[in-house]
Amino acid sequence: MSDFNQHYKELEEEVIHLKNELEACKKREQEVLDQETIYRLFYENSSDALLITSPDGSIHSVNQAGCDLFGWTEEEIYKGGRDLLVDSSQESLKKALQKRKEEGYVEGELIFVKKGGIKFIGEYTSNVFTNSEGLKRTSMIIRDVTKRKEAERIIKESEKKLCELNNTKDKLFSIIAHDIRGPFNNLKSLSELMLKQLRNNEIAKAKEYATLISSSTRSGIILLENLLNWSQSQTGQLSFDPKKIDINEVMLNVIELKKPLWHSKEISIDFTPKDGISAHADENMLRLILRNLISNAVKFTHRGGNITINATPNEHFIKVSVSDNGVGMNKEKLESLFDISKINSTAGTDKEKGSGLGLLICKEFVDRNGGEIWAESTEGNGTEFSFTLPMYNHD
């Protein structure tokens, strides 16, 4: 009897133990179910695209956000696989797949493709794991960052533009503080000397100083004009009115206007008008471009030198060239002509003053009219500046 009771007690204890184990298993099962529910809710309600794939590119699962992002249904995504969703030609994809294979994890940015072939920049992370069946799978989280990238690009461009504006401001202040002082100081000194010569009745000397005063005045006017036009162009205050322009008429007018400048240095200007050359451009801007290029050519041409001006039409554009046989320039100077951060005042062959601002205005106005400007030069053998303007369309 005692053996029976002992055996019964042992069986009872075993039943209680099994019951506790069963309750523990049920609890663990419920915890797993709860955890699975949480992950499922996270998976289904995530704003990021979530995918489960195979290393070979097959897709086994995609959430609703992934379908919304790419514009395909689940079935279409499963059928198309990785090649449906990503630009497979990009070199960065090959590198990413290799890194994930070697390290089991990769993150970065790739070009993905929406339905209709629309490409976008996607930020992603991808992990390799083994599922319950012992098969290798990869998880992917993808987020469209196109708008963020565009915002970053705009910010960078704004920062660059702000930096350029600051450089422009500093350069203009430097010009105003230094270069504009020169012509006025010259005027003051020369006028005082001329008055002295007149008092002493030294007419010949006074005439010489009067000539120098005239030259200094012209330099000051050119500089002031360029500063005014530059400031107006940078603040959007300069009007733009493109229309039909007779190139020959404008060219001859500007050459005549600049005659005192080139005539005083005994420089000859060759220009042969060609019939039927009309441009579609802003006339005031064209006149200013020509005035600056001719003044520049005169400045760097020796006394008795020559300047040649040509206007050559082609199918869509007119090419205007102003070439001289002056001092020319080296490659370094040539490459910095249109960079405001590198412009410097260079004295002419008769020690004429300048700021370098005139060429920047030329580029600004040529660009505004839809043309291009460039220069070719060899040190000691002169320089040729050329620019294009749209041909006037009779239609």
Q: pLDDT at position 110, please?
A: 92
Q: pLDDT at position 174, please?
A: 63
In terms of average pLDDT, the best of 36-50, 193-207, 287-301 is 287-301
Q: Given pLDDT bands bounded at 50, 70 and 90, which one contains residue 259? A: confident
Q: Given pLDDT bands bounded at 50, 70 and 90, which one contains residue 330? A: confident
Q: Given pLDDT bands bounded at 50, 70 and 90, which one contains residue 77? A: very high
Of 45-59, 91-105, 164-178, 195-209, the range with the lowest mean pLDDT is 164-178
Q: pLDDT at position 75, please?
A: 93
Q: How confident is the model over 268-287, as pLDDT tens digits?
A: 899 888 887 889 998 888 98
Q: Is this structure's pTM higher than 0.85?
A: no
Q: pLDDT at position 257, please?
A: 78
Of 41-50, 140-149, 374-383, the range with the lowest mean pLDDT is 41-50
Torsion of CA 25, 29, 35, 37, to 10 degrees: -160
**Residue bearing the bigger pLDDT, 164 or 128:** 128
Asked whether the predicted pLDDT for residue 395 surpasses 60, the reply is no
Residues 6+ apart with CB under 8 A from 251: 271, 273, 290, 309, 311, 320
Q: How confident is the model over 311-323, as pLDDT tens digits?
A: 988 888 999 999 9
Q: pLDDT at position 73, please?
A: 94
Asked whether the predicted pLDDT for residue 239 surpasses 70, the reply is yes
Establish how many alpha carbons lie within 13 A of residue 259's alpha carbon, considering only the half-sphere containing its beta carbon. 5
* Residue pair 42/68 in contact by the 8 Å Cβ criterion: no
